[in-house]
Structure 1
Amino acid sequence: MSAPIALGIIGFGIMGERLLRAALGHATDAVTPVGVWDPAPEAAARLAGISGAVPMLASVEAVIAACECLYIAAPPAAHIPLAEAALAAGRAVFLEKPLATDLAAARAFVARAEASGARAAVNFPMASSPAVAQLARWQSELTPEALAIEVGFATWPRGWQQDAASWLALRAEGGFTREVVSHFLFLTRRRLGPLTLVEAATTYPAGQGAETAIRARLTAGGVPVTLTGGVGTTEQDDHNTWTLNGAIRLRDWSFAEQAGADGTWTQAPDAVPNERMRPMVLRGQLHGVAAMTRRTPHPLATLREALEVQEIVEAILAA
């Protein structure tokens, strides 16, 4: 059995902490965290409070030197510079999305990485979701005809994201289309095929705030897709559905459901809330990280898939 991959983490906000906890608690056979770096003093305090946590190292360079694969959970503007530094040092990289805030920079980065055979993947957790695997089994019995994606939020950023509101709430790097809708576009690309934007409209507040509503029509592998999203449309932190043919759907991230003859939705027998499914999903992602680092087959999102999603996201936001 192969030894666990040495994993470094840059950025210890919500996602960095979640991945570290998953690595320590659910994927010790796949990865061994060896170092974290984040400039914020509060990040160091939170890291120190995690039992069995790895050290906060002195610099980005120290984390890269210590690891075999670098997980990049910093704000989007830092993604490409950090990834290129790690790749130049011969490391694999696992990035949060989006690839960049600049679409031209993202395209150029992906082209360089593909040309060099870089070991790189992007963290779209639905690649390892048991609920998505259930949808795939149900979908094998259907001919896709139409897809509807709906997302809604009580506020933006969501309640648990307020510590990152300094960038998530702003148009330049944040917004729910980049942060949430991208996951459902990735799922759509995986399940149905290449994405094409037909039309879109986006509503912004005054100033530099992120979008408050979107609507769009797309196709995915030729299948028509409708997409709607808005802030203040639900009392939940977030509510979402991905519904194919009106017959099967993914609800609130983790519930795979089928529609009965009377239109009533029934959950898959093993359906669980997202809070309980997240550790299973992250364990799968971390096993994918180990496989990607070893250049063996894995389910993780490729740079090309992430770029295709980002192309659509930025086109919606520009509409």
Structure 2
Amino acid sequence: MKNGSVAIGIIGAGIMGERLLGAILQQDPALIRVCGIWDPSPDAMRRMERTFPGVPRLADAGAVIAASDCVYVASPPASHLGHARAALAAGKSFFGEKPLAVDVADARAFVAAAGSRGAVNFPFASSLAVATLRDWIDKGEIGAPQRIHVEVGFRIWPRPWQADAVAWLDGPAQGGFTREVVSHFLFLARRIAGPLHGLDGEAWFPEAGKSERRISASLHAGDLPVTLGGSVGETAKDDHNVWVLEGDRGAVRLCDWSIAERRLPNGSWQPAPDAMPNERARPLALKRQLEGVTRLARGEAHHLATLEEALNVQEIVEAILAGSSTPQRG
């Protein structure tokens, strides 16, 4: 590799694997390229053949690792650390989907051994809307930060576009909106305000064998109190979310993934002049994520979510889910 093109191998041909693959193919191949993809599902591999006929479809995870400089792991959560350990053992770097894992003790052991050779795909690390929030905060527009509030809601879970992954996305062992979505906003709180700690949280599992349908939590990010709520079936939107940082002189918020807004003196909210819906913002964030992956693979400093940050988020997520008011079944 050295100063040549960084070869990315992909394990997992689901929604996220396909999304990152498409993003890599939009980049300069002299900087970053796809060396192959593998998924244990024959149907998924046939879909890759139809959709990306020029991308090598490799025989197994080992073949992907062998061909790569950096391995992108986009398989279901319980398999993340197995592939990550294999990549690191082969001398490759690792870029993985969140959550880092579902077993907290295993994740702690992995992070302790992995050092700086891995990162996790929290796109808020590369979000232009988040950069706008940071700029407003740094300019003192909200005064001294006081508190953070996060609210997420879904018409149904999984969301319609995730229907193919319902088998694990709606199970309590690996799935649920807290792992899949809330984790992003916890990462944002940590990146802005500091380590997450002091949790008091609860999750509700009203349907046997299904993931949570509601959560409520309070915690701290650094010195700031954080309140968090989430639910399924209480909104008409497929996916609605808001992350709010209140200060002593104002407030800023991120709405529906990509709209940065600031509160005006009259109490109304004003979007940033360059605000755009997530469909337009996502490719820009993915490009910036891939710039970070290139630096990760070269052993250079990067802006991606570190393993330590991802572990802190996972610890909070799993603690919320463990604080269930109805015993998980199935």
- Shorter-chain TM-score tier: over 0.9
| TM-score, structure 1 as length reference | 0.96
AA of the residue aligned to 1:302:
T
Deviation of the 1:31 alpha carbon: 1.4
Task: Give the secondary-structure state (helix, strand or coil) at the position aligned to 1:146.
Answer: strand
Deviation of the 1:29 alpha carbon: 4.9
Mean Cα deviation higher: 297-306 or 195-204 = 195-204
Cα contact 1:47–1:53 (8 A) shared by 2: no
Calculate percent identity across the aligned residue pairs.
55
Which residue is 2:296 aligned to? 292
Cα contact 2:102–2:314 (8 A) shared by 1: no
AA of the residue aligned to 1:290:
T
| TM-score, structure 2 as length reference | 0.93
Do the aligned partners of residues 139 and 204 (structure 1) sit closer, same or farther apart at CA in structure 2, a change above 3 Å counting?
A: same
Cα contact 2:13–2:44 (8 A) shared by 1: yes
Cα contact 1:27–1:283 (8 A) shared by 2: no
Which residue is 1:197 aligned to? 198
AA of the residue aligned to 1:55:
P
Q: Distance in 1 between matches of 2:268 and 2:183?
A: 28
Deviation of the 1:47 alpha carbon: 1.2
Which residue is 1:233 aligned to? 234
Q: Distance in 2 between matches of 1:147 and 1:184?
A: 10
AA of the residue aligned to 2:136:
W
Deviation of the 1:82 alpha carbon: 0.5
Q: Distance in 2 between matches of 1:63 and 1:224?
A: 43
Instruction: Give the 5 Å matches for 1:3-152.
Output: 3-26=4-27, 28-51=29-52, 53-114=54-115, 118-140=116-138, 141=140, 142-152=143-153
Do the aligned partners of residues 254 and 29 (structure 1) sit closer, same or farther apart at CA in structure 2, a change above 3 Å counting?
A: farther
Task: Give the secondary-structure state (helix, strand or coil) at the position aligned to 2:305.
Answer: coil
AA of the residue aligned to 2:292:
G
Q: Deviations over 1:165-196 (max 9, x none)?
A: 00000100000000000000000000001111
Consecutive unaligned residues in structure 1, runs of 5 or more: none
Q: Deviations over 1:74-122 (max 9, x none)?
A: 00111111111111111011011112121111111111112xxx51100
Which residue is 1:318 aligned to? 322
Do the aligned partners of residues 52 and 277 (structure 1) sit closer, same or farther apart at CA in structure 2, a change above 3 Å counting?
A: farther
Cα contact 1:34–1:67 (8 A) shared by 2: yes
Task: Give the secondary-structure state (helix, strand or coil) at the position aligned to 1:226.
Answer: strand
AA of the residue aligned to 2:286:
L
Identify which of 250, 268, 273 aligns with 1:264: 268
Q: Deviations over 1:182-233 (max 9, x none)?
A: 0000000000011113311211123121000001111111111110000012
Consecutive unaligned residues in structure 2, runs of 5 or more: 324-330
Q: Distance in 1 between matches of 2:235 and 2:29?
A: 38
Which residue is 1:304 aligned to? 308
Which residue is 1:208 aligned to? 209
Q: Distance in 1 between matches of 2:86 and 2:93?
A: 11
How many residues are paired up? 316
Deviation of the 1:49 alpha carbon: 2.4
Task: Give the secondary-structure state (helix, strand or coil) at the position aligned to 2:299.
Answer: coil
Q: Distance in 2 between matches of 1:205 and 1:2?
A: 53
Q: Distance in 2 between matches of 1:101 and 1:211?
A: 15
Deviation of the 1:3 alpha carbon: 2.3
Q: Distance in 1 between matches of 2:210 and 2:180?
A: 14
User: Where in structure 1 do 4 or more consecutive aligned residues deviate above 6 Å?
Assistant: none
Cα contact 2:199–2:316 (8 A) shared by 1: no
Instruction: Give the 5 Å matches for 1:156-167.
Output: 156-167=157-168
Which residue is 2:186 aligned to? 185
Task: Give the secondary-structure state (helix, strand or coil) at the position aligned to 1:277.
Answer: helix
Q: Deviations over 1:38-74 (max 9, x none)?
A: 0112212221223564111111111111110000000
Q: Distance in 2 between matches of 1:218 and 1:65?
A: 42
Cα contact 1:24–1:52 (8 A) shared by 2: no
The answer on 1:252 being equivalent to 2:250 is no
Cα contact 1:27–1:286 (8 A) shared by 2: no
Q: Distance in 1 between matches of 2:276 and 2:47?
A: 28
Deviation of the 1:295 alpha carbon: 1.1
Q: Distance in 1 between matches of 2:196 and 2:243?
A: 15
Task: Give the secondary-structure state (helix, strand or coil) at the position aligned to 2:94.
Answer: strand
Deviation of the 1:160 alpha carbon: 0.4
